[in-house]
Amino acid sequence: MSDYAPCPIARPRRVSFLVFLVGLAVMATGASRPAAAAGVPTWEPLGFAGHEFTSLYTVPDNPCVVAWTALGNGGLGVSTDCGDQYARLFLLSAYDVTAQNENIGYVAAGTLGIAKTLDTGTNWFDNNLGLPAQHDARAVLLHVARPESVFAAIYNGGVFRGGPKAPGNDTTLWQAMNGGLTDLRVRSLARVRGGSFMLAGTDGGIFRWTAAGGWSLVAPGVVANALVIDAADSSRVLAATESGVARSTNFGQSFAPSSINLPVVAVNDVARRTDNPLVWYAGTRGQGVWESIDGGSSWRKFGPDLPGDNDARAVLAVVGAQTVDDADVYAGTRADGLFRLGYSTPATPMTWGRVKGAYRR
């Protein structure tokens, strides 16, 4: 297949890829949100059963933009109406997604490799020049300071940095950056804003990269299905692992188990509530969704069991989509579809002084 041989993807309509970043209006089939019973937490089904979800994302300061990727040809779905309706922008299996601008986006598409669009998701092309012949792409990240450059995690291939093949050329040329990476079975990738370090989750453990030292093994034997660097405090990193949650408080230089009260179970994904660095959610394999209110130290069950096999493969928590103090937790499951649970929290903490002030009015 040539560098830009079109992927066999039917596109029912043209939808801007930048919807994932800034929330342009899109429409797709779906129903409006029903009113939840007061005081009764309920997982609301949003559809898409039969697809194995792999990631869920939102856009900073825009909680009505929700995007997901999924296997089983679930591809890429994006909503800009607070998760009620979704446009399908990519119709093959996908692990991860990122976007350079309103036209250019990348999907980590498993054995298809890296798929790229130049026209807002209307057409997609394979973009694998320089990758191993067997390219199982599991993650793709944007270089924030240089958005024409990206990073990719290739299972059985390691980590690659991609940039333009030549000035003005839209073909990406990939180059391996595997010095010190002794396990090339990379399944997850995280890069701190500013690029001072990067983390790779492999079958043999978690590796940390710096420009000065290359890769070093920082968590031997810890198999991370997902790695999340806290956007509010990059010293804190949470890893969803095959043996629970692991946490770093020193910029990913070491990890320790952080699973108090969590069942002994594999964790598929972790996500921080967008407005509170202390509140995290974990999607587990067969035990549903769990919540931490102390920065990932301890956990408690969140909501009822998910319908079906209770296997949450991807999680997301956004705040303010409907009102200033409402929160939505999304769970993408292994086979039973996408679900949402909404609840409310105080918009302003009620201190003792505020209580007295209310009584004085």
User: pLDDT averaged over the chain?
Assistant: 86
CA–CA separation, 164 and 148 (whole Å): 7
pLDDT digits (tens, 9 = 90+) for 302-323: 999 999 999 999 999 999 888 8
CA–CA separation, 10 and 16 (whole Å): 16
CA dihedral (97, 217, 240, 63) positive or negative: negative
Report whether pLDDT(183) > 70: yes
CB count in 10 Å sphere of residue 144: 12
Pair of tokens at residue 89:
């922008």
CB contact at 8 A, 56 and 316: yes
pLDDT digits (tens, 9 = 90+) for 277-297: 999 999 999 999 999 999 999
Residue-wise DSSP of 216-262: EEEEET--EEEEEE-SS-TT-EEEEETTEEEEESSTTS--EE--BT-
pLDDT digits (tens, 9 = 90+) for 58-106: 988 889 999 999 999 999 999 999 999 999 999 999 999 998 888 889 9
Segment 24-50 mean pLDDT: 62
